Amino acid sequence: MSTTDTLDQVLERVPLADVLVDVNVRTDIHLDKPFVASIKAHGILQPPIGWRGEDGKVRITAGQRRTLAAMQLELEAIDVIVKPQEIAEAARVVTQLIENDQRQQLTESERVFGYKQLAMFGVSADQIARRTNRPKAQVQQALSVADSEIAVDALQALPVTLEQAALLVEFEDDAEAVDRLLQVASSSPHALAHEAQRLRDAAAYRSAKAAVEAELAAKGFEILAESPGWNDSTTVSIRSLWRADDEKHTPLEVADLDGFTGVAARVHQAGWHEAQEGAVIATSYYVRGWAEQGLATYSSSTPKSEADIAKEKAAKKAERQMSADLRSATTVRREWIRATLLARKVDVASAAPLIAAALVGADTAASDARIYPIAAELLGVEYDVPAKGSYDNKARTAVIAALQADADALRLALGVAIARTESVIGDPAGWPSARDSKTTSAYYLQLEQWGYTLSEVEASIAHPKKRRGAKA
């Protein structure tokens, strides 16, 4: 017996012997006793949906739990809405995604599996987002994860979110980076965003360094892997060299090196001064055999010991690494501030002390030229960026206009206070002396209380007693 409901579906009474339960996006279908009891007492009020194959069997695509309950109760037949296969399959996945999420939230891997099925049926990311009421960006991210065996395995085996699993997709061509991310995901998944940014910045640095070294080598410079030792009197930095007949001892510049032989260069991570200009890398220049070429330098009557030289090199290396780590942490921190703290996702009722500290703090007295571009970035305020090297108050004007127009003045004022703080502390472009200040520590601790995950280098500043080797 059949009743035609629409042109593309019929309601049929199907013997359970001819019913097959299809794959569900949820991997742990659970038939609880109250659910089975309800089916026994009232029957199946909403018929399952399925399609009939060439073998005559009806494959259930929506309503698997109802069908399985009927099988458990050993019913002879059930009503099924039978549709064409392609319509039933796409509807199956969408219905299961929505119903399962409403009944018991799907796991990330189950949602990814569902989106992948829809994509295989030819449903676009836009259509999936509309039909499942999910953000398109989340759907696209899930589809990218679905295409990565490494990311899917991590999503199923490790305590990571969809967003964190997507980081593995970004680095899946770099086996070393993937190994590092998997290690962090296993032990400290909350730190994955920081580790990923460190890996991005390290890769960008290596790429930029290789490009500059190739350019310098083409110009005839010898490329040094390390800076010459303090006792190497044959190879001296141009900052310590001048022409022997120059009574003013004016240090050489790069432009002065034409005509000299034995010129060398070392490309390295940008120090504080270079970072202020937004540089990632810097180059130091040297001259071998400088005395024979008419140059002079300072003399030292007490050469440093090898131990002192090694200690100074280690200290400089540690400082460069700290600057690099802070640069990576700053990227993640400011994105969290913009997208979470200032996007009304965190209660900032306790923000008054931070705002007051930023306004009166001695180590946060940066210029408007540095504060307000950061404030505009964090608050999402648009303005006409002035030409590089020119001073313009457009950022400040735009932020003030936003403050006057928005009713949430506390949150906007917090954004400006944070920008004032960000412009000088905890940032490789800021003042090194401010990195370990009490203001910096208090700032990081407040962000942590609001839900931000401190990077390792930020945590070492916020919790100095926990530093390796620190005295209790």
Is 70 exceeded by the pLDDT of residue 425?
yes
Tell whether the model's pLDDT for residue 314 goes beyond 70.
yes
For the chain, what is the mean pLDDT? 81
Region 294-316 average pLDDT:
73
Question: Could you give phi then psi for residue 76, rounded to 5 degrees?
Answer: -80, -35
Q: Find the mean pLDDT for residues 184-207.
A: 91
C-alpha distances (whole Å) from 46 to each of 4, 29, 49, 80 are 16, 18, 9, 9
- Please say if the pLDDT value at position 216 is more than 90: yes
For residue 224, the model assigns a pLDDT of 94
Q: Tens digit of pLDDT for each residue in 323-333?
A: 888 889 999 99
Task: Considering only CA atoms, give the Rg of the chain.
Answer: 32
Q: Are 320 and 240 in contact (CB under 8 A)?
A: no
Q: Confidence band (pLDDT; 50, 70, 90) for 358? A: confident
Mean pLDDT of 196-212: 92
Residue pair 108/162 in contact by the 8 Å Cβ criterion: yes
CA 60 to chain centre: 41
Tens digit of each residue's pLDDT (9 = 90 or more) over 236-246: 999 989 999 98
Considering only 100-104, 135-139, 263-267, which range has the smallest mean pLDDT? 100-104
pLDDT at 4: 40
pLDDT at residue 102, rounded to an integer? 46
Q: Residue 236: which of 250, 217, 225, 252 has the closest Cα?
A: 252
Which pLDDT band, with edges at 50, 70 and 90, does 336 fall under?
very high
Task: Give CA–CA dist 402/283, Å, rounded.
Answer: 41
Task: For 153-175, write each residue's pLDDT tens digit.
Answer: 888 888 888 889 999 999 988 99
Give percent of the chain above pLDDT 70: 80
pTM for this model (two decimals): 0.66
Among residues 401, 276, 422, 428, which one has the least CA distance to residue 335? 422
Task: Report the CATH number of the 1-106 domain.
Answer: 3.90.1530.10
Higher pLDDT, 1 or 403: 403
Q: What span, in angstroms and rounded, lies between the C-alpha atoms of 191 and 182?
A: 11
Provide the pLDDT for residue 105.
Answer: 61
Band of the pLDDT at 106, cuts 50, 70, 90? low
> How much is the pLDDT for 5?
43
Instruction: Quick: pLDDT tens for 10-69.
Output: 888 999 999 888 655 454 566 778 888 888 888 888 888 888 888 889 888 778 888 888
d(CA 182, CA 167) in angstroms, rounded, equals 10
Q: Which range is least confidently modeled, 152-156, 264-268, 298-302?
A: 298-302
Max mean pLDDT range (96-105, 255-264, 357-366) = 255-264
Q: Is the pLDDT of residue 147 over 50?
A: yes
pLDDT, position 209: 93
Whether residue 469 is predicted with pLDDT greater than 50 in this model: the reply is: no
Mean pLDDT of 114-143: 79
Please check whether residue 415 is in contact with residue 342, taking contact to mean a CB–CB distance below 8 angstroms. yes
- pLDDT above 80 (res 275): no
* pLDDT attached to residue 110: 76
Domain limits of the chain?
1-106, 220-303, 310-466
pLDDT of residue 180: 93
Q: Is the pLDDT of residue 471 over 50?
A: no
Indicate the pLDDT class of residue 198, thresholds 50, 70 and 90.
Answer: very high
pLDDT mean over 414-443: 74
Stronger pLDDT, 356 or 106, i.e. the higher one: 356
Q: Which of 201, 226, 215 is nearest to 280 (CA)?
A: 201
Q: What is the dihedral of CA 12, 13, 18, 20, to 10 degrees?
A: 70
